[in-house]
A and B are shown apart, each in its own frame.
Chain A
Amino acid sequence: MIRQHLAILQVMLPMLCAPLCVFARRPVIAWLIATAATLFALAGSFILFAQALNAGVISYHLGGWAPPWGIEFRLDAANSFVLIIVSLVGAVCMIYGRDSIPREIKSSDQPLFYTMMMLCFSGMLGVTSTGDAFNLFVFLEIFSLSSYVLVAMGAGSDRRALTAAFTYLLLGTIGATFFVIGLGFIYVLTGTLNMADIAVRIAGMSGSGTLHVGFAFIIVGIGLKLAIFPLHLWLPNAYTHAPSVVTALLAGTSTKVALYALLRMLYTVFSPDLPFEALILHYLFLPLGLTAVFVASIIALFQSDVKRLLAWSSIAQSGYFLLGVSFANIGGLTATLVHMFNHAIMKSSLFLAVGCVVYRTGSCSVASFRGLGQKMPWTMSAFVIGGLSMIGVPATVGFVSKWYLVLAALERGWWPVAFAIVAGSLLALFYFGRVIEAAYLQPSPENSAVTEAPVSMLAPLWALTISCLALGINSELTVSTARAAAEALLAPHAGLPAHMGP
């Protein structure tokens, strides 16, 4: 029975844990509940992925109503792939949080803090699983509202977390409202909110201004959440000032979920003809992606705060995502998906490593990294591996994603773009080089009594680092999964019930 209902339990079990955490009297109990829920979600997402590969599409009818009337959860290889990313990063962050969270959050706040973490986590799972466009908005709001609060929780150590959260709230709400406006336009045209049904009914029409404007609003709305280049203003501050666990969770997952929503809209709802043939969107995405890569990387070079440096690097990475999408071929899509998974692992492990440093030194400026190579060997070596991976050194996952991006660019015959991808990596070398140089070559300040981070934080960090290496050496697993996911995205009408067929 659990197998049959797994699609919904995967989301609803963590969601049920949110109110449960309110009742927990001691923080440890709340932590136990939350960790158990994320581990369940992790196991569930693997099973779901296997099921989706076998069955093609899993459709779960909520309330027992058939899809265009009721809401359905619609899982194919693409979303269950994203589910794995989200629940993996979520589980790792929760385990890591046992020692990290008490440092940054007051103990009386912790049960509610875990409630928020659970809401954020299950909101992201919901966005990923749902097959209904408005339901996607509702879950997006659960996830965004809780992440505003989570970012603001960094105010215990720095008041700038509050302004960061406020900016995030303003832009996030505008983004969500844009999404709703776009949805309204599409609804007027099609009379339905089910994504698959919209796709079928849109396929016949073209040239309607309402359709184009609706499409544009949806893309801009999601773009604000994804922090694609001109819409990224909220991201650096939010990532810099949030508590370490929150940053790792958001950096690893939130942009990935938004990216998934974007891909779903581009490929499934507005089947690729509209975005890429009628509106030639790739000519917009390509320059935006390139500017994002270069501008964000250059800004990252001048940051004195490591978290902020990593945040700018995230914006640069979202440029790579856009590049992959702009190739508008299956190779580019696969590369984007591979990079999505790899970036989630690398960026989370980097932020977790920075979290370890903050745990011991209380600061994350580049200066406070001086001499940590000797003092915190495990943390810093994990950081180095993560950094190398971001640069794209062979035998790390970063190399795999860059490799496939370059291949896809060559497949299109866009030589300069391939060259630009490599040049972007060079910039990454410089900004990571600064931190690593400080950690290994500069002497530590004299009277510092910094020691290695506790094992409970190192273990999850190294779990990510090892998978970063293992999947970098044996890339077959991620690439084949991503290819299956890409194919699922490009086959919009698969597995539709007869009354909804084209």
Chain B
Amino acid sequence: MKHHLILLMAAKLMIPPILLFALYVQFHGDYGPGGGFQAGVIFASAFILYGLVFGLDELRRVAPLSAVTKLMAAGWGLYIGVGYAGVATGGMFLDYGRLSSDPIAGQHTGIFLVELGVGMAVASTMLAIYQCFAAHQSRELTDDEW
């Protein structure tokens, strides 16, 4: 006998659209409101919803903390890496103009990569923070602590 069957089903139905929406915000950020940071938060909140409904153990199975930590470092590393790519292609640090033959296309590539790095870092950081807090829930609150 499952409790909250409706909620479980609703959450299951909601999570894929949220992830899809996060990707839309990520890649449509150049044209409308949005960008890496917002997309990262929405992406993470989909996982947080999953964790809320199905429990922390299940969330850990899907997104283990060690992997999340590495992703966090990788996201920021990607941003810095794009910066170094600017130096390597003969421009200044974070200069995207030479990432492609045409400066404007280069800017597009640079902004795309940078936003991707931000999105990765933010999503994984939020998830890591949530997992850290959730992992500590070991004590029962009594009624009069309310």
Contacts and interface: CB of A to CB of B under 8 A. Distances in A.
Real binding pair: yes
Interface of A: 1, 5, 8, 12, 15-16, 18-20, 22-23, 60-64
Contacts of A63: 86, 92-96
Contacts of B93: 5, 8, 12, 60, 62-63
Q: What band does the interface of chain B fall in when counting residues whose beta carbon is under 8 Å from A?
A: 10 to 19
B109 to A, nearest CB: 14
A61 B92 contact: yes
11 contacts: A12-B83, A16-B84, A19-B72, A19-B77, A22-B73, A23-B70, A62-B92, A62-B93, A63-B95, A64-B92, A64-B97
B37 to A, nearest CB: 14
B80 interface: yes
Contacts of A23: 70, 73
Given A12-B80, A12-B83, A16-B80, A64 B73 contact: no
B27 interface: no
B130 interface: no
Contacts of A20: 73, 77
A64 B69 contact: no
Given A1-B87, A15-B80, A64-B92, 8 more contacts: A8-B92, A19-B74, A22-B73, A23-B73, A60-B92, A62-B93, A63-B96, A64-B86
A82 B76 CA distance: 27
A64 B83 CA distance: 11
A161 B103 CA distance: 51
User: Chain B interface secondary structure, helix, strand, loop or mixed?
Assistant: helix
The 10 closest A-B pairs by CB, nearest first: A19-B73, A64-B95, A22-B73, A63-B94, A8-B93, A64-B92, A19-B77, A16-B80, A19-B76, A62-B94
B29 interface: no
Interface string B88-111: 000111111100000000000000
A12 B84 CA distance: 9
A60 B86 CA distance: 13
A104 to B, nearest CB: 22
Nearest to B97: A64
A50 B96 CA distance: 30
Contact of A16 (B72, B74, B77, B94): B77
Contacts of B77: 16, 19-20
Contacts of A19: 72-74, 76-77, 80
Nearest to A8: B93
Interface string B46-72: 000000000000000000000001101
Contacts of B96: 63
A12 B87 CA distance: 12
Interface-centre pick from B76, B77, B93 (highest chain A CB count, 10 A): B93
A23 B69 CA distance: 9
B113 to A, nearest CB: 14
A12 B77 CA distance: 11
A23 B74 CA distance: 9
Nearest to B81: A16
Contacts of B86: 63-64
A22 B69 contact: yes
A1 B93 CA distance: 12
Contact of B87 (A5, A15, A22, A61): A5
B45 to A, nearest CB: 22
Interface-centre pick from B69, B72, B83, B94 (highest chain A CB count, 10 A): B94
Contacts of B73: 19-20, 22-23
A429 B70 CA distance: 51
Interface-centre pick from B70, B80, B83, B92 (highest chain A CB count, 10 A): B92
Contacts of A18: 76
Contacts of B92: 5, 8, 60-64
Contacts of A64: 86, 91-92, 95, 97
Nearest to A5: B87
Contacts of B97: 64
B23 to A, nearest CB: 24
A160 to B, nearest CB: 21
A22 B70 contact: yes
A16 B92 CA distance: 17
Contacts of B80: 12, 15-16, 19
